[in-house]
Structure 1
């Protein structure tokens, strides 16, 4: 199998410094390092010593089994993973917000990374390590979750999106999708995907899933189950009522120690800033870092709580709760509570014996804010593992890259420059050069005439300069139109170059941040996924170019 490595910068200085260990001061921030083999042994020992402070493994496994069965995860590998969880097996965990048809490819990359990291850790430690995918169904940002980008048969990038149903601004998992809306979304997908031998079967599978899916999160879980069930990936929706009930004691601690946790986040944020790094998550004074669904209805609005005048309030002051009242909700209706980005790592570590968390670049940066909060609760940040990143290059695209002498770096770093160079090389008529020379000759011949006119009447000097400028602009314009006309002879080549860019760097971004996996499933069934799973893996992340 053909693979190449490419250094794809994350644009996160803090993350880059952590991954490459270029700033020793960060050791005190993160504690462990994914690339240090001894840290995996050290973290496992810590987990074995602190088992009594987490949720009961048997009850968690029971809730996860019920959820995974609803998501269609019936494989023996998933069942074995859940059995291992019940017996206290450590986990490698990572997650993402649910997206339409799984959203951008980076979601798939994270799942692949979780599975590879768990396998790698298990081989080193000589015991079962369970891969877990945390679906952030509690998030309520519909516009982040509701769409997928695909390249159509006409080689156009199209955005397929689900409009938000009427009702409260609640979590994605509680936002219901009707059968009619699913059918509409499937129709749009069918119209966008190019024809292929695998297309009918793909659409049939997805249509079967929509018959059971009440939300984007449900559909997201079913697709992940289909793709990764054979690899033992256990799924968890953060908004699942069965899991929420197990979180009640931790919510009680987060409420009781809220002021202390707030101080821990603020102190750590100041520490990160003093080290010269930009904060990647808001640390707002007075924030509880907890959300409340404003009623017990499953469609209640999700409200961020702040502390003011001795009460927990939302921004619009629709609710105002004392600590005792909030504690009562935690005990009796924990499904009404929800974490934000700063408390979610703590809750995750309470539920699972987290050996390592697989994170994207932005996540690694904002996890730096949580270290003191872990310590405040007698916990410890797990090993942070950068997820792997991939670019898939289809055979036709690779052939076109070879045809035009383009490397992957050319496409990612200097594509427009290389495109112009190629077209210029085809110009045997030297059009740009000849028009430029003509302009120079004209200016040389015309300037003495302008001087003559100014000598006759000085006021004509300004008019002459303007006249010269307009004529030169017209010569340049005619040259540009001639170049355009010449380049039209290469429209087929231009389309091929456009396809390269659209496939590898759509919207000027890495492929993984834009394109959806259904395009590859449509053309290659799941062979594309097998190649990602077989690609070289590194605990410190990296970018692999995978040729399909």
Structure 2
């Protein structure tokens, strides 16, 4: 693929400055992926602190059990064996599950993890394992239960899997029925345009959902098909077997909860001192831990006598919560601010791949890591792309616009182009008519008001109705002009719907399935050979 840097694609300012190597932010994070020595120092630190993490053979056993539920892969089996060895290293990236693989950015993140692991291997001369951490503990089902694909007319359409009634449990604990999966796949089949790849794609989706799995498990099966051959290890943060290995870290998060909050506040202050706003502001007395209960996934807060959720549905003394962490750690889960520290306890994290928003909230975690005698891993910005679909380049040339033009103001440019086709100057002509009528009516309305105020009001109503008729005529005239340029307007819409669908970046809107249905499975594999940029950035890709 041909790659061209794209400027001006929206991204949190802090993440962009970090990506570019701002020295102040490099100090805040402690390292930068562009500095080879930082990778070596991080590897040496992990070698020295190996005893402070989960015992590797136990972790490998959990990972093998989870992999047994996915698409078989010898490459993944070898990766797990490598993780079990002393001195193993990993590059980690994660995301909440998404229906049928979710948005394209999830695939880009998995690819970034694989490529970053390869990059680290070349720097260190050691095996580095790519790991994808599925945030199955998240309970925002409505964020995970849909994806967008283009229909036969090229219009983005949402395909959705309905959320079961009841309390909001984690996505990995939300049961789904065979009927729900069948309905979602049928909706997808009706929406996707016919292609040579569509039947096989739908058959695989039916196979991965035939036993009515959770949304997380179906997602993991699809990712294991796509990236298992590259040795990408998948884990579910809400895997009860993994949770049982995490009990010691949950205990520490409970025991040191006050100092954790203080450290997080100090981190927020450091970010503020640099002139940036905090991405995920800390709530007062928040324990930064969730409890799984019959009421759903409940965020806990510290109270004078222990911990409770806001509605006081569940409450524990400190000793009771510690006992729960020891006895049933699967009843607990992390939030966005403590998940990075749990990840650090579970895996030998050489580097973690993050999106722009994630980098922004990790900026405040340095002090919290230090409070737990940890150091931030190297933060690698996720690779970000806009794919120039075949034919779009010709339309850009035809209308003399660039990809950036369409992304930043496509709708405005479309309207300006249409206005330029109006050789009759309709808008100007109708404005002249409105101004003329207003000028003619003004003295008449004054006279009518002198005769009787009510008569003046009636005259105003009469003028308003006349203006409405003129507006109606103007709209009909504009619609007629637009219809004369219907083909061109649809081409303008095609550019916007491909490059900036629904007013958002392509990778955040369209699902990976949108492209696999059009271009086949090899399309995704080609991204694995795209040149890796360790500092990320948004690039335009085309063949």
User: How do residues 312-391 of structure 1 correspond to structure 2 at under 5 angstroms?
Assistant: 312-391=307-386
Secondary structure of 2:168's counterpart equals: coil
Report the CA distance shift for 1:229/1:289 in structure 2 as closer, same or farther (over 3 A). Answer: same
Unaligned runs of at least 5 residues, structure 2: none
Report the CA distance shift for 1:451/1:145 in structure 2 as closer, same or farther (over 3 A). Answer: closer
Deviates more, 1:230-239 or 1:304-313: 304-313
Report the CA distance shift for 1:236/1:170 in structure 2 as closer, same or farther (over 3 A). Answer: same
Q: TM-score when scaled to structure 2? A: 0.92
Query: Cα RMSD over matched residues?
Result: 2.7
Q: Is the 8 A contact 1:358 1:385 kept in 2?
A: yes
Q: Is the 8 A contact 1:291 1:305 kept in 2?
A: yes
2:91 is aligned to 92
Q: Does 1:175 align with 2:174?
A: yes
Q: How far does the alpha carbon of each residue in 1:511-540 deviate from its partner, in whole angstroms, 9 at most, with x for none? A: 111111111111111232123223232111
User: How do residues 295-306 of structure 1 correspond to structure 2 at under 5 angstroms?
Assistant: 301-306=296-301
Q: TM-score when scaled to structure 1? A: 0.91
Report the CA distance shift for 1:459/1:4 in structure 2 as closer, same or farther (over 3 A). Answer: farther
Secondary structure of 2:385's counterpart equals: strand
- The alpha-carbon deviation at position 203 of structure 1 amounts to 0.5
Q: Is the 8 A contact 1:355 1:382 kept in 2?
A: yes
Q: Is the 8 A contact 1:532 1:546 kept in 2?
A: no
Deviates more, 1:421-430 or 1:98-107: 421-430
> Among residues 78, 91, 110, which one is paired with 1:80 in the alignment?
78
Report the CA distance shift for 1:293/1:491 in structure 2 as closer, same or farther (over 3 A). Answer: same
CA distance in 1, matches of 2:156, 2:398: 23
1:240 is aligned to 239
Q: Is the 8 A contact 2:411 2:496 kept in 1?
A: no
- The alpha-carbon deviation at position 453 of structure 1 amounts to 7.8
CA distance in 1, matches of 2:289, 2:317: 14
2:163 is aligned to 164
Q: Is the 8 A contact 1:8 1:542 kept in 2?
A: no
CA distance in 2, matches of 1:329, 1:183: 38
Unaligned runs of at least 5 residues, structure 1: none
- The alpha-carbon deviation at position 177 of structure 1 amounts to 1.0
CA distance in 2, matches of 1:450, 1:301: 66
Q: Is the 8 A contact 1:265 1:372 kept in 2?
A: yes
Q: How far does the alpha carbon of each residue in 1:369-411 deviate from its partner, in whole angstroms, 9 at most, with x for none? A: 2111111111101011110111122213333233322210111
- The alpha-carbon deviation at position 273 of structure 1 amounts to 2.1
1:204 is aligned to 203
CA distance in 2, matches of 1:78, 1:188: 32
2:399 is aligned to 404
> Among residues 488, 497, 502, which one is paired with 1:493 in the alignment?
488
CA distance in 2, matches of 1:143, 1:451: 56
- The alpha-carbon deviation at position 454 of structure 1 amounts to 11
User: How do residues 69-468 of structure 1 correspond to structure 2 at under 5 angstroms?
Assistant: 69-72=68-71, 74-87=72-85, 88-294=87-293, 301-432=296-427
1:15 is aligned to 15
Secondary structure of 1:160's counterpart equals: strand
Q: How far does the alpha carbon of each residue in 1:301-329 deviate from its partner, in whole angstroms, 9 at most, with x for none? A: 22111111221112221222122222222
> Among residues 523, 527, 547, which one is paired with 2:518 in the alignment?
523
Q: Is the 8 A contact 1:306 1:315 kept in 2?
A: yes
Q: How far does the alpha carbon of each residue in 1:240-299 deviate from its partner, in whole angstroms, 9 at most, with x for none? A: 11211111111111112112111111221222223322111131221111111226xxxx
Report the CA distance shift for 1:329/1:455 in structure 2 as closer, same or farther (over 3 A). Answer: closer
1:507 is aligned to 502
